[in-house]
């Protein structure tokens, strides 16, 4: 961390708060309660309120494809977006095909980020009883996400790059909605699972009720290879390497790797606001977040693996390249006062 810098910043939000009669009242959106976006947004709301910077009225259960446009159009003040969505919006693709490239690009010009974090990493895991100890998925039934969406696309891509297998050809993909995920895992509907989870994951821990689990890292040579690195540099993705003893699992989860590290790919994301938010407010909000990163990590088991300190890395944050996400000028000032140099490609 950068605690020595942060201590001086901790008073900053209070200075902004004392310069006005009341904290700002802001609207915010997150995905469903219990997920990483809701956890981070709820924490953000709490610390902003305590610091007197802002009162966030958080709507949970939002559809994040809509949230991005709501922030761009000014109908929502604070949102979270997986970084694949800005790429799709500015290009008028996927869920934004009806918006079109011209209008989508205009909307993306209104989006600015406060801070980065990831929404989870893609895991290959199976019950020990299946005997699966590697990415040998040939001929197997693999639960790889819901019937549609980015998670399914990314899971198929990871499997393809690591194994060379295609869904419906080399293996049989099983698609089930998120609401049935836990049941699908525990009733052994599939022989293996490739799904995006936090590290550690409550879902993984819950799945232990049906037996011990093998959690299998992407092999080091494949991870470091050109194809996998290209995949992790694609819009909305980034590479991740975690020490096995820092993953937060204990009895029942057998993590398989050749060298004590678990490797994979994460879905990158960011807390975003409209570009018209004032410099002082964006700076105070970001400074409050920075000052409380350690608190979030202490209170949330998986927060240390969310990439909360990747603002200084274009590759790890996923901001640059085809995504083209930019920080709010106030956020840049807050990060740089905390001793973090923001990459030029992510500056407005």
Please tell me the total number of residues recorded for the chain in this structure.
Answer: 348
128-145: per-residue pLDDT in tens? 999 999 999 999 999 999
Instruction: Name the residue ranges covered by the structural domains of the chain.
Output: 3-118+269-346, 119-266
175 C-beta neighbours (distance < 10 Å), count: 16
CATH 3.40.190.10, domain 119-266, yes or no: yes
Short-list 221, 266, 222, CA closest to 241: 266
Who contacts 310 (Cβ-Cβ below 8 Å, separation ≥6)?
Answer: 116, 117, 238, 316, 317
Phi, psi of 264 (to 5 degrees): -175, -160
Q: Is 263 exposed, middle or buried (0-12, 13-18, 19+ CB in 10 A)?
A: buried
CATH 3.40.50.920 fits 3-118+269-346, yes or no: no
Tokens of 99: 């918006």
pLDDT in tens, the chain (348 residues): 444 344 444 444 444 443 344 688 999 999 887 789 999 999 999 999 999 999 999 999 888 999 999 999 999 999 999 999 999 999 999 889 999 999 999 999 999 999 999 999 999 999 999 999 999 999 999 999 988 777 898 899 999 999 999 999 999 999 998 889 999 999 999 999 999 999 999 889 999 999 999 999 999 999 999 999 999 999 999 999 999 999 999 889 999 999 999 999 999 999 999 999 999 999 999 999 999 999 999 999 999 999 999 999 998 999 998 999 999 999 999 999 999 999 999 999
Report whether 287 contacts 15 (CB < 8 A): no
Establish whether domains 3-118+269-346 and 119-266 are of one fold. yes
**Phi, psi at 101, each rounded to 5°:** -65, -40
Q: Is the Cβ–Cβ distance between 151 and 168 less than 8 Å? A: no
| Cα angle 200, 205, 210; round to 5 | 150
């Amino acid at each position: 961390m950068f605690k020595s810098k942060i201590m001086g910043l901790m008073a900053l939000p209070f200075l902004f708060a004392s310069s006005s009669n009341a904290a700002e009242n802001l609207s915010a959106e997150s995905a469903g309660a219990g997920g990483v976006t809701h956890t981070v947004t709820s924490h953000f709301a709490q610390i902003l309120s305590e610091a007197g910077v802002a009162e966030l009225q958080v709507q949970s259960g939002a559809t994040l494809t809509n949230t991005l446009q709501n922030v761009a159009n000014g109908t929502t003040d604070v949102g979270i977006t997986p970084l694949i969505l800005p790429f799709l919006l500015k290009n008028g693709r996927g869920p934004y095909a009806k918006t079109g490239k011209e209008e989508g690009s205009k909307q993306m010009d209104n989006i600015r980020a406060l801070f980065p974090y990831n929404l989870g990493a893609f895991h290959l895991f199976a019950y020990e009883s299946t005997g699966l100890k590697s990415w040998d998925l040939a001929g197997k039934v693999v639960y790889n996400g819901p019937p549609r969406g980015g998670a399914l696309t990314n899971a198929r891509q990871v499997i393809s790059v690591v194994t060379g297998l295609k869904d419906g050809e080399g293996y049989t993909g099983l698609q089930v909605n998120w609401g049935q995920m836990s049941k699908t895992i525990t009733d052994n509907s599939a022989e293996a699972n490739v799904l995006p989870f936090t590290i550690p994951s409550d879902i993984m821990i819950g799945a232990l009720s049906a037996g011990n689990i093998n959690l299998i890292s992407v092999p080091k040579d494949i991870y470091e290879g050109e194809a996998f690195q290209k995949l992790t540099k694609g819009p909305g993705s980034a590479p991740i390497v975690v020490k096995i003893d820092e993953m937060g699992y204990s009895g029942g989860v057998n993590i398989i790797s050749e060298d004590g590290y678990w490797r994979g790919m994460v879905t990158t994301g960011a807390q975003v606001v409209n570009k018209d938010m004032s410099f002082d407010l964006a700076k105070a909000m970001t400074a409050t977040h920075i000052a409380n990163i350690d608190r979030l990590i202490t209170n949330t088991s998986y927060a240390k693996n969310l990439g909360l300190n990747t603002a200084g890395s274009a590759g790890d944050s996923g901001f640059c390249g085809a995504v083209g996400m930019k920080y709010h000028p106030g956020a840049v000032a807050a990060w740089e006062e905390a001793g973090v140099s923001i990459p030029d490609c992510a500056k407005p």
